Each structure stands twice: as C-alpha cells, then as structure tokens.
Amino acid sequence: MRNYHARKMDKEAIYPYQAWKITEEEFLLENNHHNEAIFALGNGYMGLRGTVEEDYPGSEKTTTPGFYINGVYASEEIIYGEEAPNLPKNGQTMINLADWSEMNLYINEEKLNLLKGKILDYKRELDLKQGLLKRHILWEDRQGRKIEINITRLISLSREHIGAIRYQFKAVNFSGKISLNSAINGDVSNHHHLRNKKALEVIESEVDTKSGYLLHNVKSTKFKIAYVVEHLIVGQTKEKCESKKRSSENRIDWIFEISASQGEKYTIDKIVGVNHSQEKGENPLSDARASAARASISGFENLIEEQAEFMTGYWQDVDVKIEGDDALQQAFRFNAFHILQAAGKDGQTSVAAKGISGEYYEGHYFWDTESYVLPFYAFQRPEVARNLLLFRYNTLAQARENAKRMKLDGVLFPWRTINGEEASGFFMGSTVQYHINADIAYALNLYYQVSRDQEFMENYGLEILIETARMWLSLGSYIPMKDNKFCFNTVCGPDEYKPGVDNNAYTNYMAKFNLDITVKMAEIIKKEAPEKYNRLSERIDLTDNEIANMKEIKEDIYLPYNEKLEITPQDDSFLYKNPIEVDNIPEEELPLVKNWHPLIIWRYQVIKQADVMLLMLQLGNQFSQDLKIRNYDYYEPKTTHDSSLSPAIYSIIASEIGYKNQAYNYFMQTARLDLDDYNENAYQGVHTACMGGTWLSLVQGFGGMRMFNGNLYFHPHLPDGWDSYQFRLRFKGSQIEVTIKENIVKYMLISGDKVEFKHYDQVIVLEESHLAEEVQI
Ligand code: BGC
C-alpha cells in the first residue's frame, strides 16, 4: 500500500468498535456534519440525514440537514463554459425536501441547547441489529433543572412511506412546564449544486392540533410531494398535555405543553407519511394520509417490532460474521446496513453514489450500481438486483436518445442520471465512459447466472443486451494500422485519469463480453421461446444478419497485450506516458483530481482507480495468474486510489495472487472509509459503491469466490489475525453457508436443491441441507 494511504489509515477510530452498533459518545457540534451521514436513515425510497432533532445555529460546515426521496429531482439548464454541439441540456438534482425531524424542547422558556447548560450524559447509537437510531441525553439547564431525554428514530423498512420519531422525556429534579415544539419545515433548499435555491413551492397545507400536512411542488419538474404528520400522545402523557398549532406559508408547528411532574416519563410519537406524484397510487396526499393513518393505528412499538423483524431476515441473508477483528466486523455491518438503505426497489429508481444520505453527486446513479452494489444483491437478495436492472430497462427510451445524440446505434446508458437522461455536463468524465453499457450487460448476466430468472431474461434482459451490443458495433471500427482489428477509439475506462484514449483494455474486453453473451442469449431464447423472440425482433428490428454480424465482429475485437513488458496495457498510449510512482508525488498534492490540472494528470502514467485490475477480476478466467501478478506489480505503484471504488478491487486481486498484507490493508481502507472518515468527506454522504466493495473484497477477495459461465468457485483464505469468518450466498435458488476457520472450510446447504461448485480443484456437491462438507485450505 502507498505511504499516503497508510498514513490516512493511522487516524484514530471515531467510534468505539462494537459488533452491532455505531456510538457517538460525546456531543460536539463540529462532529455533527460527519455524523449526519453516518447516522442517516433510509429505506431505498426515502432518506433522512442524521441531523439532531433540535436546531443549532451551525454553519454549512457543521450541519446540512437533508430529507430526500430517491428519484425526486429538480432540473436546471446546464451552464457550459464553452458550448459544443449535442451536449446534454439539462441536469437533474435530487432535491432537499421538507425537514420533518425538527423537534425542540423548552423547560419553561429555556430551549434545550446542548451548547449551553451542562451535558451530564450523552449517547447516540445506530443500532444495526434493529435498524434504529437512538439518542440519550441527560442535560442540566442554566437554572440547574435536569431533564432526561430519549429519542428513537426510524425510517420503516417494511412500510416504505413511513418515518417516525419517539420523543420521551423526564423532569429529573423539578416539576413544571415543558413544551415540545414539533415541526415540518418546508422552507428548505439544496445546500449544493442547484442555482435556484427556491426550487420548491408549497401548494397547500393544513394543520390540526396533533396532525397536519404540507404539499410541495418542485417547480421545474412538477413532482408533488405530500408529507402527512400525526402525533400520538402516549399513555398518561395525554392528561398532562395541551396541544397548540401554528402555521405559516411553508412551515407547520405543533406545540405540546406538558405540566410535568418530577420523575414522570412523557412520550410523544411523531409519525410521518410521505408520497410523491410520479409513483403508482391515487394521489400523493391521500396516499400519504392513508399510510400515516395505518402506521398510527399500528403504533410506534409495532413499527419498532416490524423493523427488528425485517432486520433479522436481512442479517440472516447478508451478515458476514467475522471473529477476531472487531473493527472490521463493525465496518462490514455498517456498510451492509447502508447498502440496504440506499437501494431503490421499485424498478423506477436505483442506487445513488451517496445513497439517500447526502446531496453530493446530486443523487445520481452511475455504473457504481451495477459494478459494485448489484453483485451484493444478486448473491443475497436477488429480487432487489432484478429491480435495479428493471430500472435500466425502464429507461431504455432515454438511453436510445442518448445514443442518437452521439451518432450511435442501440442505446448508450447515461453516465450520471436520475430520470434516465444524461445529466453530466462534463463529457470527458462521463459520456466518454462507454463501458457503462458493458457493465450493465455484465451485471445482467451475473444476475441471470445466479438466479436463473429466465422470465426476466426473455422479457427484459435480452432487449438490454441487444441494444447495448448495437452501440458497440457502431462505436468501433476496423483499423488498418492495427492489423485490421476492430477497435474502440476515444474512450475512457474506469480510470478517469485517462479519458479520450484508444483501446482501453477494460473497455475492449468488456465490449467483447457484451457481444458474446448477447449472441448466446439470443440463440438460446430464439430456440426456447421463439414467439417472444420474434415479437422482440419485430419491435426492435432485429435480424439474423445482425446477430451474425455481432458474432463475427466480437472475434475481431482488438485485445491489447504488450509483449515487451508482458502486461496488459491499460490503453494504446498509457505505457508511452511519463512514468511516475504515487509515493513520489508530494502528499499535499493528492488527491490529484483536486490539485492538478487535467492535462497534467493525463500526461503521466498515473491512475485514479482500478482499471486493468477490475478487468482481471471480472473476466478473471481469461487471464493467467502470472499475468495478474505482473499487471498488479506494474499498476499498483501508479494508482492513487483517488476514487473510493479502487482499493476494494486491488484487495481482491492481491488476495488472489497471494499478497495477503496488501489485501488486508486495501480491504481495511475500503471497509472503514466512512466510519473513520479517511478522506474527510463522509459528511457529503456515504460512499455506496465502496460499501459494496467491502462485501466484494470479503467474499471475492478473502473468500476467493468467482462465478464464470454459471459455475461457482471458491479459493478461500483466512486473513492473519482473524479466527474465522462466515457468509451466505444464494445460487440458483438455493442458499449456502461458507465458514472459514484456520485451515478448514465448511460448506453447508441452508436451503434449496443440490448445489455444485469447486473448492480450489476439488468438486463439491451439497445435497443434504444443514450437513456440512469440511475441506482443507
Ligand atoms: C469515480 C467514478 C464513480 C463516481 C461516483 C468518481 O470519482 O471515478 O468511477 O462512478 O465517482 O461514485
């Protein structure tokens, strides 16, 4: 590992190592910003940052509250420094919506403010087992009155339109008036990206003493969003509570005044239903009302129980139990929790680069979803993977337009998007990454091989394959000076530090793969479901000739290899650039993306993120072990890992080629990136792809799991210092459990039919459920 990264990792842990919790032990305003992302809650549909309930006069450096709905965006014209033809016209930005988490407490007239008075006890913990955020405060105001407060917050995982907060308090050493001011604040705006800060307008609002709603309109895109709030005054609190309301144009306040007796506990629950107009349903207001009413009838305790039940099921499928490494055990679970929170599950939305935990990257979906997050789901919760692919299917029309914009056939999926249209204003970092088409095809194939979902492939998948394959045929050309090979010029691989290059190896191999599986699937479906095949062919003008053409061209694709160095050149020009090692770049100049002009970066052999290494992983069966070693040795010293997508892939290849220390270090860098804030930017939102990378490096790296041509392989090892680790995978409808302990590996069938795979060179067949097969490493 490079020195720069080793030094970053020397940072002290911010939270204590706990198996199932992330705990903030001290309230410090300056930590709020980081905590807002760490403690963000979400359920794939909506996300609430971990901003505390009471307000503080913080600057944007200490607090950026946010509530978002996945896929709900505002649009603005992209302003270009210099115009060029056919650039995307409008951007899309996930919009910051009404803040319904605001709750301020007053003892008489003194407002709870942890920066004043005394904090006698404080703890906030994210409970990963139960899917809850809990806060405990014991505070003494300036008059010596002590109050104990316990707040529990959730975004329901089983009712996607519901969020809730339970607010409990107890006057410890006094009796008197305590007021709780609960609000929906609709006067909000995006902190970043949008120029027009007033992107939302209130259409309607209504308030009663305990309930009310706000209906917002996003001016540029006409999304209507309804927030319906109901308060439940629980148990004996009712007798002591008087409720008042107040409303202004874009804000509703409820004030609950309680004549508190010393030592009594008072409880108020806030239940919120949220819907928007571009989802299935009647209308957002009546839908949100109905969800809020149902949740209120169920009650908060029920919501907690449902949440715990949901989480139990989730952990049964996805938990990786690590014994002997508390830091990584915690990190894995934290990451898996956020992956759950980030993923859209309705086929209309996907996984944004920061999930729903922050505004950075504008809530855009990238290739991150298919290449880093989808494998996690395909092997553990295939139904979610299916819906993520369905999102691509549902945006084929926009991807067709995007291809036309670039004078290409078929589809070109956007590099950054929410609604399916290209939203990037910087083509050298976006459109030039044509590889996204192949990444989607690769993920589709992975899902298909794992799930054997024939119906999906026939009804949706094949069309995606054919349309993505068509793009490659129109992008590439036979180049006489390259022995008349079929080449892809002026592209960019995953390494964004080398845009506009010819024959990026990753791109060429992946394009070939895209064509290869397209031809195979077309032949299978033509034979097995001829009617469907014919209908599709008619609809998208597919001919036998076209398939024959794909078959021929895929064999002619230029596959780069450098005889002299005996490595895979990243592209045609990479090896001819100025060589440099990352350790020789002054530390203060990293990350380069922030410190060097792009032209400087482009002239060096310096890499932002795994590129050839990703190829060595994804199509690993096409390369020898020796080549992988030579490639690793050549590219690793040149890689800055300025993208958080990088270390996971290096970790996996390091595992495979036996560089165990490097594998562990790169894994650590991936797994604890947000928790320890290595890049000091977690406040912007969590790094979802890197979180997916955590699972990849555990299961594909240490576990050595690969799947090629529908066959499963394991080459596991136990990292030094670990006692054991265990994970589960779904494969062709069955579920298996793998436990690695010292030099013994146990494979067990948990459910489903017989599963066959290879452990190193040994074929293993699991037939009987819960009977373990033990083998030596
Ligand atoms: C990486 C891309 C990634 C994007 C969003 C960039 O820094 O280079 O590969 O898609 O971040 O996560």
Residue bearing the CA closest to ligand 1, atom 1: 643
What pLDDT score does 133 carry? 98
315 is in an annotated binding site: no
Q: Is 731 in the pocket of ligand 1 (CB under 6 A)?
A: no
Q: What is the pLDDT of residues 534-587, one digit of tens each?
A: 999 999 999 999 999 999 999 999 999 999 999 999 999 999 999 999 999 999
Indicate whether 708 pLDDT > 80.
Answer: yes
Helix (H, G, I), strand (E, B) or coil at 758: strand
What pLDDT score does 530 carry? 98
Q: Is 645 in the pocket of ligand 1 (CB under 6 A)?
A: yes
CA of 476 to the centre of ligand 1 (A): 25
CA of 495 to the centre of ligand 1 (A): 9
Q: Is 643 in the pocket of ligand 1 (CB under 6 A)?
A: yes
What pLDDT score does 247 carry? 92
Joined together, the tokens standing for residue 513 give: 């793969």
* Ligand 1 atom at shortest distance from the alpha carbon of 608: 8
Indicate whether 772 pLDDT > 90.
Answer: no
What pLDDT score does 169 carry? 98
* Average predicted confidence (pLDDT) for the chain: 96
Phi, psi (5° rounding) for residue 41? -115, 150
Indicate whether 58 pLDDT > 90.
Answer: no
Helix (H, G, I), strand (E, B) or coil at 430: coil
What pLDDT score does 281 carry? 84
Query: What's the mean pLDDT in 317-331?
Result: 97
What pLDDT score does 62 carry? 81
Of 446-460, 483-497, 761-775, least confident by mean pLDDT is 761-775
CA of 687 to the centre of ligand 1 (A): 10
Query: What's the mean pLDDT in 314-331?
Result: 97
Question: Nearest to residue 671, comparing CAs of 368, 314, 335?
Answer: 335
Question: Nearest to residue 360, comparing CAs of 636, 654, 674, 591?
Answer: 674
674 is in an annotated binding site: no
CA of 359 to the centre of ligand 1 (A): 15
Q: Is 365 in the pocket of ligand 1 (CB under 6 A)?
A: no
- Mutation to probe ligand 1, out of 366, 413, 439, 593 (largest number of atoms < 8 A from CB): 366
Asked if 422 is an active-site residue, the reply is no
367 is in an annotated binding site: yes
What pLDDT score does 30 carry? 87
What pLDDT score does 8 carry? 76
Angle between helices 462-475 and 435-451 in degrees, nearest 10: 150
pTM value surpassing 0.95: yes
Query: What's the mean pLDDT in 473-489?
Result: 98
388 vs 351: CA distance, rounded Å = 8
User: Does residue 177 come out as left (phi exceeding 0), alpha (psi in the -120 to 50 range) or beta?
Assistant: beta
What's the alpha-carbon Rg for the chain, to the nearest Å? 27
What pLDDT score does 318 carry? 98
What pLDDT score does 11 carry? 83
What pLDDT score does 61 carry? 78
What pLDDT score does 528 carry? 97
Question: Nearest to residue 364, comparing CAs of 97, 692, 93, 95?
Answer: 93
Band of residue 428 on the pLDDT scale cut at 50, 70, 90: very high
618 is in an annotated binding site: no
Q: Is 609 in the pocket of ligand 1 (CB under 6 A)?
A: yes
In what order do the strands lie in the sheet containing 200-207? 21-24, 118-127, 132-140, 146-155, 162-171, 265-276, 224-234, 211-218, 200-207
Q: What is the pLDDT of residues 281-311, one digit of tens each?
A: 889 999 999 999 999 999 999 999 999 999 9
* Ligand 1 atom at shortest distance from the alpha carbon of 364: 5
Q: What is the pLDDT of residues 178-211, one digit of tens each?
A: 999 999 999 999 988 899 889 999 999 999 999 9
Indicate whether 141 pLDDT > 90.
Answer: yes
| Catalytic residue from among 496, 546, 636, 656 | 496
Of 530-534, 759-763, 769-773, least confident by mean pLDDT is 769-773
Q: Is 689 in the pocket of ligand 1 (CB under 6 A)?
A: yes
What pLDDT score does 465 carry? 99
* Ligand 1 atom at shortest distance from the alpha carbon of 609: 8
Q: Is 367 in the pocket of ligand 1 (CB under 6 A)?
A: yes
Indicate whether 595 pLDDT > 90.
Answer: yes
Q: Is 165 in the pocket of ligand 1 (CB under 6 A)?
A: no
Band of residue 5 on the pLDDT scale cut at 50, 70, 90: confident
Helix (H, G, I), strand (E, B) or coil at 318: helix
What pLDDT score does 4 carry? 72
Are 458 and 525 in contact, with CB atoms under 8 Å apart?
A: yes
CATH architecture of 39-78+88-315: Distorted Sandwich (2.70)
Residue bearing the CA closest to ligand 1, atom 9: 494
What pLDDT score does 411 carry? 99
What pLDDT score does 597 carry? 98
Q: Is 351 in the pocket of ligand 1 (CB under 6 A)?
A: no
Residue bearing the CA closest to ligand 1, atom 6: 643
Indicate whether 220 pLDDT > 90.
Answer: yes
Strand pairing of 711-714 and 755-759? parallel
- Mutation to probe ligand 1, out of 339, 350, 645 (largest number of atoms < 8 A from CB): 645
* Ligand 1 atom at shortest distance from the alpha carbon of 367: 10
Are 495 and 558 in contact, with CB atoms under 8 Å apart?
A: no
Percent of the chain with pLDDT over 70: 100
Sequence spans of domains, the chain: 39-78+88-315
Joined together, the tokens standing for residue 229 give: 């709030």
Residue bearing the CA closest to ligand 1, atom 5: 353
Band of residue 523 on the pLDDT scale cut at 50, 70, 90: very high
DSSP 507-572: HHHHHHHHHHHHHHHHHHHHHH-HHHHHHHHHHHT--HHHHHHHHHHHHHB----BTTTTB--SST
What pLDDT score does 362 carry? 97
Give the length of the chain. 777
Are 159 and 148 in contact, with CB atoms under 8 Å apart?
A: no
User: Does residue 251 come out as left (phi exceeding 0), alpha (psi in the -120 to 50 range) or beta?
Assistant: beta
Q: Is 366 in the pocket of ligand 1 (CB under 6 A)?
A: yes
CA of 366 to the centre of ligand 1 (A): 8
Q: What is the pLDDT of residues 639-676, one digit of tens each?
A: 999 999 999 999 999 999 999 999 999 999 999 999 99
Cβ count near 747 (within 10 Å): 21
Query: What's the mean pLDDT in 410-430?
Result: 97
